[in-house]
A = this chain, B = another copy of it.
């Protein structure tokens, strides 16, 4: 039993907080007379005209300092930059984006970033894009397609220049909408013969088949499944069952669990599964967390893993190999997915000079690896 020693404390302190909003127009100088009659809400921040006035140039020149510094005379550049620095001016990209139709925003729609490999994908995706001057708008869809679609509208209202999607199971209206806006789209973490645009992923069906094969080769005769029932889980299930069917195994016990998957859920699922299918000698779990939970349950049931019961997870939680060598897992390169997805988008965004009707329909299958320690 865990012994908890807690120093938890909760305190709400209240103090004063002086409004420190800086004067919006230090040295507005000559611009003063030109101030609009209509003040829409209190003092706004600095505007490009404030910088321009101070630097003795036009607003256009200040704009160029940010967007095409090479087209500005070195002296002017320096002078403007100093004013920017001194005033602490930060351009308003809402205005800039509206004016230029370049939001410099890329949206990423993923089911979740908690406890999941998607977080790794988003991490590198974001790093790669930010190096290229883009920012990432993160949208978490949970695991429902309808939620994904309503999120898309929210996201499109920011006019992103590209979109990363998770999976390939999208509603028709989402696909249509995306086609209409005409921005580059990358689907990730799955594969299909009919991507919306570009794709970086792998086959869940093949994974299911490979895990079934793995179990079969090790003598399993009654493999079972513990997983959620989202599109990708169902694809793995299909591959798993079909490979087993080829080997003459058609009765495959299944325990469907609701997301989010966790160790606790896996721990509860295994006994339930075994109660219904006592002869089970192998279990393919929908995630490493579930697999670890199942392993814990197996331990309590005094089952030898992998001797009596083989357990395979999915997702490669790095630690799994270290702390639970009895488990088999399926490794997927989430980092490569994120980097490749970002590059695909950037290539399209940069090559836009061709403004073309014809784009490359790029697809990468990053594959996967079934990882098992044969001997410990």
| A interface list, Cβ under 8 A from B | 1-22, 40-42, 44-45, 88, 90-98, 101, 103, 112-116, 119-120, 122-124, 126-127, 130, 135-140, 153-159, 177, 179-182, 197, 206, 210, 214, 262-263, 267, 288-289, 292-293, 295-296, 317-324, 355-375
Contact = CB atoms under 8 A, between A and B. Distances in A.
Given A1-B374, A319-B263, A10 B156 contact: no
Contact of A92 (B98, B206, B323): B98
A324 B7 CA distance: 24
A98 B94 contact: yes
Contacts of A262: 318
A360 B14 contact: yes
Nearest to A101: B41
11 contacts: A2-B373, A5-B370, A10-B365, A44-B101, A90-B153, A93-B159, A94-B94, A114-B119, A138-B138, A292-B319, A319-B319
B263 A361 contact: no
B319 A361 contact: no
B363 A11 contact: yes
A124 to B, nearest CB: 8
A10 to B, nearest CB: 6
Contacts of A361: 13-17
8 tightest CB-CB pairs across the interface, nearest first? A8-B367, A15-B361, A19-B357, A21-B182, A323-B323, A114-B123, A20-B179, A22-B180
Contact of A367 (B10, B140, B181, B292): B10
Nearest to A113: B119
Contact of A324 (B19, B120, B323): B323
A177 B101 CA distance: 28
A11 B6 CA distance: 53
Contact of A93 (B157, B267, B366): B157
B18 A357 contact: yes
Given A42-B355, A119-B114, A373-B3, A366 B10 contact: yes
Contacts of A374: 1, 3
Q: Point out which of A92, A197, A206, A323 has the most chain B C-beta atoms below 10 A from its C-beta.
A: A323
A159 B92 contact: yes
Contacts of A355: 42
Contact of A20 (B1, B154, B180, B369): B180
Contacts of A97: 94
Contact of A136 (B101, B127, B138, B292): B138
Given A2-B372, A7-B206, 10 more contacts: A2-B371, A2-B373, A10-B367, A13-B363, A19-B359, A88-B180, A93-B158, A94-B159, A114-B124, A263-B319
